[in-house]
Chains A and B, each alone.
Chain A
Amino acid sequence: MASPHMHLSLRRALRYLLALAACMLPLSVAAQTIPDLVIKDGTVMTASHGTIQHGAVWVHQGKIAAVGTIDEVIKAAPAYATVVSAAGKYVTPGIIDPHSHSALGTDVNEATSPVTPSMMMIDAFDNTDRALYFALAGGVTTELLLHGSANMIGGQNISIKNRFGRSRDEMLFAGAPRTIKFASGENPKRVYGSRNQLPSTRMGNFEVMRQSFEDAKVYMAIWDAYNAKVAKGDKEAVAPHRDLKLEALSDVLRGKLLVEIHCYRADEFLTEEAIAKQYGYKIRAFHHALEMYKVGGEIAKDGTGIATFADWWGFKDEAWDAIPWNAVMSMREGVKVSLKSDSNDFVRRLNQEAGKMVHYGGATEDEAIQMITLNAAWIMGVDDKVGSLDKGKDGDLVIWNTDPLTSYARAEKVYIDGDLYFDSSLPGYGVTHFTGVMHGGGFGGSDDEDTAEDYDGGAL
């Protein structure tokens, strides 16, 4: 009776240990072999405190040690630091994509039940997927790799640092909070409705969610009672059955997971928030969120952010009211706004997508940069570690040939933890740590691009 549990627990424990070991590795690598780095004389866009002309950044043991004018930084940094000139160039924090399905092969959706919260995306993660390389070459240093949108309650995502060429576990984002993917709207109802299963309507979608949390409440109460007995020293207490699915849902109710919801329509944002309040959890972000401009003021009060497309529209019915001013209008209403790719293509030029926000709605340069750095980090719950050029944050930096908010920008050098991972001037791929064969040809990155073809093609 105990053996399957033993097996699972063992596997999970092992995975946890591996991940833990991985968390130590990059730091120790950085500490021992990565020399201090100073990037100087660039236009430094900090994302948190404006732009510094002729600025400089010092990275020590993988962390940013100083940001400021050339004089300030050079004075602080040791003489033996590697100095890279960024004269005439731009420097930004590493770009962050809070919505990607890259490197998950064809394993994006466990579309056999609308509720699959115990799916762990790390089990599908292929760290040699060339989509990661393309993203790196576009300046992307951090990504949230999500379960797909087939299920109302999908799986638990993984946060990665794009240390392309390192082992799977070395690419995990140490200390990133656990997050879970929910979905709503057309995708779940189409996937299950096409099989004549629940849900096939939006009513069905939300009923499935409510029932799941009702079940989780019961499960949680049983475990709470047991734990209370154990705490009182009751040696006779019998441990209840462990159910991975209900355990994961209980963790949602206990606030241990950041909830990331694929959701397009204004009415559904409101319903999702109502259900979250009813069951006592918080929604970290709505993803896609193309109609947020209609109800931004209300959602801002709930403290939920959005990860949205810059200008995608019309590819499905629930994207019909999408407008390219959505991001800036929602931001002006107080919503924390980030852009995202949901695509192996767009992830390569999120900087251009941010540039469009200057055009559509008049975002300032700082606001536009924040949408692909600091705010995206917040969506993932890692804004204390990455997303801006501030002392103490990870040394994730991009040197661009020109202003990254223009059509003309190319990422020239990409650093993660102060270590150079991509250099466009190098021959071949331009990568510094990758050897071997890149994989690819999986899902294509998007769950929503060319929806009909993807689904008809059996991607789900």
Chain B
Amino acid sequence: MTKFNRVILSAIALAFAAASAHAQAIMVDTTPHPGVIAIVGGKLLTVSHGTIENGVLLIENGKITAVGTAAAVKVPKGATIVDAKGMTVYPGLFDAETNLGLTEVASDQVNNDLVEPSDEIFPQMHVYDAFHAETEHIPIDRFNGITTAIVAPRGTDTMPGQDTLIQLAGHDRDQMILTRDISLAMNFGDGQKRGGGFGAAAGGPRFPTTRMGEISQLHQALIDAQEYMKARAAAANKPAETEPPASDSGRGRGAPSAKFDLKNEALIPYLKGEKPVVIGVEEGHDVEAIMELAQEFHLKIILSRVTHSQGVLDKIASYHVPVIIGPIYDLPEAGERYDAVYSLPAELAKRGVKVALASYENEFIRNLPYAAGYAVAYGLPYDEALKSITLNPAEMFGVADKYGSLDTGKVANVVIANGDPLDVRTDVKQVYIDGIAIPMVTRQTRLRDEYMPKQ
């Protein structure tokens, strides 16, 4: 038995020990392992610097320590050799927006924590407070090579909370959560109205029921936070007794308050442009309206969705902001050609826009690579498609120093598959997260094996 096999088997044993009998996913401790793993003989899709045939990739202490040809990279003595001959090796895939861990069975409202619907402006909501690390979805999604994801609140409110970056393995929540509050979720359009759509309130319509209402509410929230930020800064430079009397975020009650306030506090890093605001918007005219507001406050913007913005693609390119697109399976609207949405990634990439793809939900995350493949069918260059689910989202969220490509020094999130990562026929053989070989076992493989007819 090779050392590699022993590592895997002990990891599996550990996983089964950790999993309770009761609907709990297989938890894997991803504490970095000091031994060297050498993945040899495979075709390396580095994403950052092309394809290396018959490559060697070394992993040590959870990091990639070497990437190159067999001739260039020496495999150290004692390394665990993983034969990847005939295989394709690529970085773990990055889903730029999901609801992972916020819902289990979509039809069961009782376990849904998709969004806090009691108010529209909730920047102080943190999805990590609801993130259910033991969800069965995580092992099933990583089984197809997804290792990294943004968890966002459902986009049915204008400012529903802040997003969290996770990795799809860990012995508990804290090992899975990589960056809390990595970005702010903002949405605009039809779907956020309180009079109808998803946001329909049980007690009948209430403000905002129009786009004017949505924008004015967002505008006010940003003004309030800006005033708050100034008041806090001023108060910090003065003795405590001179602090102005408390008021309700300054609204119509004299000078802005410097009293600590979770909602306004949450917006400060975004007003300072320190972190990205992900703006989910579908229609072209909505993109223009919300961008006007976002630019007024100098927000660091990632545009998202844009599924029905075919008429303003040049304008989107002129903003010089990255765009998460999708889902590209959104149905075209009246008057649109059948491929209007499929071809968006190609059309935006052609205009020099950095694009990422996302699943935007919880059920079909494992199909993310196939969406990228479909974008290729509709004109996106292959290399861009692979980037759109690896390096590009990592760059958008400021974590490209750790994720998104096979480069020395990055976290060893690596996938070995028997073919093209974007093709539906491809079988993922092994996933590494933090350099740990993840047992390729899920609730679904267990069911499969239990019912597989005995030969």
Residues in A lying within 8 Å of B, measured CB to CB: 130-131, 133-134, 137-138, 186, 293-294, 297, 311-317, 319-325, 329, 332-333, 344-345, 348-349, 352, 355-356, 358-359, 401, 405-410, 424, 428-430, 438, 440-441, 450-453
Contact = CB atoms under 8 A, between A and B. Distances in A.
B452 interface: yes
B233 interface: no
Top 8 A-B pairs ranked by shortest CB distance? A407-B373, A137-B338, A355-B424, A316-B107, A451-B107, A358-B425, A323-B444, A452-B107
B198 interface: yes
Interface in B333-357: 334, 337-339
B366 A317 contact: no
A407 B338 contact: no
B444 A313 contact: yes
B373 A408 contact: yes
Contact of A430 (B338, B363, B377): B338
A133 B106 CA distance: 29
Given A317-B107, A320-B105, A332-B453, A410 B377 contact: yes
Given A321-B447, A322-B444, A406-B423, 4 more contacts: A312-B363, A313-B363, A313-B444, A406-B424
A430 B343 CA distance: 15
Interface string B81-110: 000000000000000000000001111110
B426 interface: yes
A115 B112 CA distance: 33
B448 A311 contact: no
B370 interface: yes
A406 B447 contact: no
Contact of B106 (A323, A355, A408, A451): A451
B367 interface: yes
Interface of B: 104-109, 136-137, 140, 198, 329, 331-332, 334, 337-339, 363, 366-367, 369-370, 372-374, 376-378, 422-427, 444-445, 447-448, 451-453
A8 B331 CA distance: 38
A317 B424 contact: no
B108 A317 contact: yes
Given A314-B137, A358-B425, A451-B107, A407 B377 contact: yes
A352 B363 CA distance: 17
A407 B376 contact: yes
B338 A348 contact: yes
Nearest to B362: A314
A348 B338 CA distance: 9
Contacts of B367: 311
Nearest to A405: B425
B276 to A, nearest CB: 28
B218 to A, nearest CB: 25
Q: Which of B367, B426, B451 has the most CB of A within 10 A?
A: B451
A407 B367 CA distance: 11
B423 A293 contact: no
B448 A323 contact: yes
B203 to A, nearest CB: 15
A406 B105 CA distance: 29
B422 to A, nearest CB: 5
A401 B339 CA distance: 15
19 contacts: A131-B331, A311-B366, A313-B140, A313-B444, A314-B104, A314-B137, A315-B105, A316-B105, A316-B107, A323-B444, A323-B445, A329-B448, A329-B451, A329-B453, A359-B424, A407-B424, A408-B376, A408-B377, A441-B334
Q: Which of B109, B337, B378, B427 has the most CB of A within 10 A?
A: B337
Contacts of B378: 410
Given A329-B448, A348-B338, A315 B425 contact: no
B106 A452 contact: yes
